[in-house]
Copies of this chain bind each other. A is one copy, B any other.
Amino acid sequence: MSDSKPRKRGGRRSPRVSGALPQRPFRQSRNPYAPIEVISADQVNAIHQAALTLLRDTGMRVLSEPARALFAKAGATVANNRVRFDPDMVMEHLRTVPSEFTLDARNPAHNLRLGGNHMVYAAVGGPAYVMDNDNGRRGGTYAEMCNYMKLTQQLNVVHQEGGGPFEPMDLPAHTRHLDICYAQITLLDKSWQTQTLGFERTMDCMNMAAISLGIDVEDFKDRPTLLGIINTNSPLQLDVPMSEGLIAMAEYGQVVAITPFTLAGAMSPVTLAGALMQQHAEAMVGIILTQIVRPGVPVMYGGFTSNVDMKTGSPAFGTPEYTKAAQASGQLARLIDVPFRSSNVTAANDVDFQAAYESQMAIWGALMGGAHLLNHAAGWMHGGLTASFEKLILDAEMLQMMDAYFEPLSVDVETLAVEAVDQVGPGGHFFGSDHTMSRYESAFHAPMISNWESHETWLKNGSVQAPERANKVWKTLLKTYQQPAMDPAVNEALLAYMERRKAEGGAPMN
């Protein structure tokens, strides 16, 4: 037998949401539920101990001389470019990592808390390409990149700009980072992720961030504002540009998320336990380097373990292995009490059913794995090669749903409604009851994209699929975008800094 068919009682009342998009207000989700634990405490500890053993016996190749010198001074053994770590020394330096911290934004209402049960959703960062329904995939321009950033500003559920959504290919590579920073600072008043590829780029972005706050970069040191991703060169290698970025960021009190890219079967063992062990070892090395540079500077533990398609060697994302790895990574990060970064990922080629289920598997893996930062939370496609305009909106829709899911359920005399049920009585309905009427406007989460029309109505209205609806939404959001106000003197200082640095030739290519 079937379940009862849904009964529709349309037309009784038609409370109208205003013409504006039904967005939830800007606020950080807090996860009130216990994270999912996919491995036992003993297994967490076994991975941790194995990682310490690997760091002691095999160590890591560190290509930067200053980084090697810092490790040596802290007690590590350096032979050629190989650095080996005593387990006690690793644990000692992990102890100074703060378990929670705040990232300042230009608009203090957009400051972000990382750690505890707070969650931050960041827009996609770093792809080479852009795509949308109208023009497919292509290299992007600065103007298009600015549009993407405007949407990030517009979407309340996206708390942080993710470091440039895609490369503006029409700008010269040596100075592009300056224009990206300028857009991040002026088009948004939200927190933004910065560029950490080499010393010059890192310093340029920190200088511009300091200017945007009206402070000197020296005053920056006790005011975490910028977050940058540091990838180790898995397996077991830390290269020069990443070392330079890490050291500069830590020195100036800014936050890095150390994220090994441990693709099981390619850059790490084919077994998930092995990939996690290697991720954990590499993450700890990056994390302690920040503490050696500046004890107590905030830092994050990044988990990015996924697997390859063993038929082709292609990377896969949002797989069951990815979900388990994200949740196990959360357990490893909690063991050493470092705030945890995970990501919303998919390797799908189109914004279709596959893209949605892979993203969902990643989101549940990350958020119920206790992630504090959901990186690439909105817009990521093609295994990170492409930023999509429609996916940005559809991810925001899914993030809003998660935000509503994390709202605790209220259980009291009023919400239990024993009296209201008695009043309606057997066989009645609740559409017009006082209990309903006094609550219906805010009773349920209102979606931006989900379409719940009858099939007849949907067909009559042109059979519009979710990505086409998202296409309309981003165009509407772009039309209604308003640039956040900025002190003209600050703007001039930013422009002057950029002009000088461009005249100097920008930053070297790494």
Contact = CB atoms under 8 A, between A and B. Distances in A.
A427 interface: yes
Contact of A467 (B58, B352, B443): B352
A218 interface: no
A85 interface: no
Contacts of A446: 310-311
A264 interface: yes
B421 A267 contact: no
A58 to B, nearest CB: 4
Contacts of A243: none
A430 to B, nearest CB: 6
A231 interface: yes
B427 A269 contact: no
Contacts of A407: 320
A53 B418 CA distance: 8
A261 B4 contact: yes
A269 B420 contact: yes
B126 A3 contact: yes
Contact of A319 (B193, B312, B401, B414): B401
Interface stretch (A42-50, A86-94, A206-214): A42-50
30 contacts: A1-B245, A3-B126, A3-B376, A6-B384, A11-B313, A32-B38, A33-B38, A36-B36, A43-B409, A46-B411, A46-B412, A47-B416, A54-B418, A57-B422, A233-B427, A236-B425, A237-B426, A267-B429, A268-B421, A270-B435, A270-B443, A271-B414, A273-B412, A273-B417, A277-B416, A321-B404, A348-B466, A353-B467, A357-B398, A386-B455
Given A34-B37, A352-B465, A361-B360, A415 B445 contact: no
A414 B50 CA distance: 11
Given A266-B9, A319-B444, A353-B351, A310 B1 contact: no
A507 interface: no
A58 B273 contact: no
Interface stretch (A12-20, A65-73, A95-103): A12-20
A452 B163 CA distance: 25
A253 interface: no
A5 B385 contact: yes
A259 interface: yes
A278 interface: yes
A444 B352 contact: no
A185 to B, nearest CB: 17
Contacts of A235: 421, 424-430
A195 interface: yes
A235 to B, nearest CB: 6
Given A314-B453, A424-B235, A425-B58, A405 B5 contact: no
A402 B320 contact: yes
Given A3-B384, A277-B417, A328-B409, A354 B466 contact: yes
A236 B429 CA distance: 11
B349 A312 contact: no
A490 to B, nearest CB: 24
Contact of A17 (B126, B230, B311): B311
Which 5 A-B residue pairs are closest in the complex by CB-CB distance?
Answer: A2-B126, A274-B417, A356-B356, A61-B426, A360-B360
A42 to B, nearest CB: 8
A431 interface: yes
Contacts of A394: 353, 357
A61 B425 CA distance: 9
Nearest to A436: B270
A54 B416 CA distance: 10
A183 interface: no
A495 interface: no
A422 B51 CA distance: 11
B313 A10 contact: yes
Given A1-B193, A2-B127, A425-B58, A16 B311 contact: yes
Interface string A299-318: 00000100111111111100
Given A61-B426, A316-B444, 6 more contacts: A39-B409, A266-B431, A269-B430, A320-B404, A347-B452, A357-B360
Given A1-B163, A128-B5, A410-B273, A453 B421 contact: no
- Output the residue of A32, A60, A354, A458 with the most chain B CB within 10 A: A354
B265 A443 contact: yes
A265 B405 contact: no
A82 B424 CA distance: 14
